[in-house]
Structure 1
């Protein structure tokens, strides 16, 4: 039996279920945005969190915080992909030997972080991505 104080979950966190769900959607919407824009390069990772942040920032503080965190993270991921794409183009495709594996690593890492963030947000825990540039304050 583990008697260590567990992290608050559900109603214990004091955050209503609706807010926790919207916060979870803010993180998961990045994946949906990436899938929906995959035909044009998959640059839309930040669209879902941006829409949720704009819709809920005045009424749900936990959602606003988590959507802003997801937005900042996905802007950073999109910027990394754009920089890697530019490097590939500037090297006339030869740089793809380096940039494609880096893109795969960044993509898998982002996927893992987004899933962890969605789970934590649904538990009512404010998640902070370990690697994030907070452009939107």
Structure 2
């Protein structure tokens, strides 16, 4: 049976990911440190720790891919705009504006989804179950 102390530690593991809003990469480092120091105390903490760390490593990997794809489209739009300007055209950079709007929308949705999933994981951990985040790559098994 899972003790209240284990549930609280697991919930804090999930919540510790919000440290990234204070210090870059702390959203991965802080849960990793907590998990590494507490994983030997309980299988429950170990499973929640793996879940949290895998999720945030996955978020980092997906974010890098999104940034690369967005950057390619952004650079392509700038090159297109420069070519039109050099050809003597006086055009509003609609594709550049569109890329900006889409990028900000994806970033906003991504951030809201991550926030909701972390809260959900925290609640589930506090209830005594291991939350398996969706779309998670299992880097740590």
TM-score of the superposed pair, with normalisation by structure 2: 0.75
Q: Distance in 2 between matches of 1:111 and 1:21?
A: 19
Query: C-alpha offsets along residues 16-64 of structure 1, whole Å, 9 cap, x if unaligned?
Result: 11111110011000012x1122xxxx44321222111111121221111
Q: Distance in 1 between matches of 2:54 and 2:118?
A: 12
From the CA coordinates, give the structure whose radius of gyration is larger.
2
Unaligned stretches of 5+ residues in structure 1 = 1-13
Superposed CA RMSD in Å reads 1.7
User: Equivalent of 1:36, from 22, 34, 46?
Assistant: 22
Q: Distance in 1 between matches of 2:10 and 2:4?
A: 10
- Structure 2 equivalent of residue 135 of structure 1: 139
2:65 is the alignment partner of 1:61: no
Aligned residues: 119
The 5 A counterparts of 1:1-137 are: 14-32=1-19, 34-37=20-23, 42-90=24-72, 91-92=74-75, 94=96, 95-137=99-141
Unaligned stretches of 5+ residues in structure 2 = 79-95
**1:130: how far off?**
2.4
Q: Distance in 1 between matches of 2:37 and 2:64?
A: 27
TM-score of the superposed pair, with normalisation by structure 1: 0.77
Q: Distance in 2 between matches of 1:57 and 1:16?
A: 14
